[in-house]
Structures are given as structure tokens and as C-alpha cells.
């Protein structure tokens, strides 16, 4: 089982972007080409890999397949004149059995947690929750600024890389598999208004395909 069964999916901090955008009243960006959203909202480019010197875009397993550290490299892609106010970046990893027809990166997460590698002005918080609409467990990793006001100017955050400690990776059945990871960012529209609806905009990043090789 995952670490714990999270709160109900109606909690806006614990639902996937496809449902969350309707909840907060922000228009959905699905089906639109990247950059077509108002004011060219910032997007984050992410890679996930094993903590190995020669592995920058793959998760590599050996025969023993012991728990290993994963590196999440997240780089901001945007114009420097963009003044979006970043409140949070979330990374969602679907959890499932290695025997399922769909390949899941992990069955659960019971490691020691995560820590920032490149931007100590953020906290990184992993937790698990159950999406009741999808009947799916997720590991959600939240990157939250330490700023008292609850946001930072997005151009001041060029990178948000972190390490997830001792993750148990599902072994791919034929020596190779691909898992999909979702991520999104939450922004404040107006710094003079409280951080609640409708002063929140949520922008999906493109789904990330993670190659796992054994």
C-alpha cells in the first residue's frame, strides 16, 4: 500500500490537473498548442533519471533492483519579461503493481523523502493520495516557495531540481518500459489579491515519458 490514503479528491491540492482546472475556474489548456495560453505562461521542462554520472535521461536498474535515488531535473522555459507569480509546482506519479497491463514507475513510496538540489528557497514535500474519480493512487511531490507571501516571481526560478530518496522501481517485464509522469504549476494572477479562487491559474506541463531500462 502507499504511505497513506490521502484526502478526498475534491481537495484542490490533491487532484489531477484535468479535474483541478474545472474546480478553480481556470480555462483548460488541453488541446491547445504550447504557448497559446494567455501571456505565454511559463512551462517547466523535466527529466527523471537514476543518480548515476552517465545516466541523464533514463532510470537504470541492475539485477538486484535495490531502492535507488532518482534525480528530477526541472528547468524553467519562458521569457525573462514574464512576471507570473509562481505558487507551486506539483509532480504526480501514478502508482501501480508491476503486474498491471499499464507500466507504473512504482508500486508505492516508503523512502526517506526528498530534498532540493539546486534551489534551497523551495521546500519539496512528497505525499500519496487516492484519486477517487480515477480510482488511482498517486505519489504527489509538491515544490513550494519558502516566501512568506506564498509566491515568487517565476523568472527568479530558473531551476527546481530535487532528489527523491530510495525509490523502489518496478522492474519492466521485457527489460524496457516507459512510464508517464504529469506535472503542473500554480500561479497567482494578482499579488494584491488573496491566494484563492479566482486569483489562481493552473498550467499543465507536457506529460513526461520516463524510460526504465534493466
pLDDT in tens, 129-140: 999 999 999 999
User: What is the rounded average pLDDT of the residues 61-87?
Assistant: 87
Instruction: Tell whether the model's pLDDT for residue 73 goes beyond 90.
Output: yes
Confidence of residue 17 (pLDDT cuts 50, 70, 90): very low
DSSP 84: -
pLDDT digits (tens, 9 = 90+) for 104-125: 999 999 999 999 999 999 999 9
CB 143 within 8 A of CB 114: no
**Rounded to 5 degrees, what are φ and ψ at 4?**
-165, 160
Strand 136-145 to 122-131 pairing: antiparallel
Q: What are the residue ranges spanned by the domains of the chain?
A: 12-26+39-213
CATH 3.40.50.720 fits 12-26+39-213, yes or no: no
d(CA 214, CA 206): 26
Has this prediction a pTM greater than 0.85?
A: no
Confidence of residue 38 (pLDDT cuts 50, 70, 90): very low
Instruction: Identify the pLDDT of residue 57.
Output: 83
**Higher local confidence (pLDDT), 122 or 149:** 122
Instruction: Tell whether the model's pLDDT for residue 186 goes beyond 80.
Output: yes
Q: C-alpha grid cell for residue 133?
A: 474519480
Paired with 142 in beta bridges are 90, 125
Amino acid at each position: 500500500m502507499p504511505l497513506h490514503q490521502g484526502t478526498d479528491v475534491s481537495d484542490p491540492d490533491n487532484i489531477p490537473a484535468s479535474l483541478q482546472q474545472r474546480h478553480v475556474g481556470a480555462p483548460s489548456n488541453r488541446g491547445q498548442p504550447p504557448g497559446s495560453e494567455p501571456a505565454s505562461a511559463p512551462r517547466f521542462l523535466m527529466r527523471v533519471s537514476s543518480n548515476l554520472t552517465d545516466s541523464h535521461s533514463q532510470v537504470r536498474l541492475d539485477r538486484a533492483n535495490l531502492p535507488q535515488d532518482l534525480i528530477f531535473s526541472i528547468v524553467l522555459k519562458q521569457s525573462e519579461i514574464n512576471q507570473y507569480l509562481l505558487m507551486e509546482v506539483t509532480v504526480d506519479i501514478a502508482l501501480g503493481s508491476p503486474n498491471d497491463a499499464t507500466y507504473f514507475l512504482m508500486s508505492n513510496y516508503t523512502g526517506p523523502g526528498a530534498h532540493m538540489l539546486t534551489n534551497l528557497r523551495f521546500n519539496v514535500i512528497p505525499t500519496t493520495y487516492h484519486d477517487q474519480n480515477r480510482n488511482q493512487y498517486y505519489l504527489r511531490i509538491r515544490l513550494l516557495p519558502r516566501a512568506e507571501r506564498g509566491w515568487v516571481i517565476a523568472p527568479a526560478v530558473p531551476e527546481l531540481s530535487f532528489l527523491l530518496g530510495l525509490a523502489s522501481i518496478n522492474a519492466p517485464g521485457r527489460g524496457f518500459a516507459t512510464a508517464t509522469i504529469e506535472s503542473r504549476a500554480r500561479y497567482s494572477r494578482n499579488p494584491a489579491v488573496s491566494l484563492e479562487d479566482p486569483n489562481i491559474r493552473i498550467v499543465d506541463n507536457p506529460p513526461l515519458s520516463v524510460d526504465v531500462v534493466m
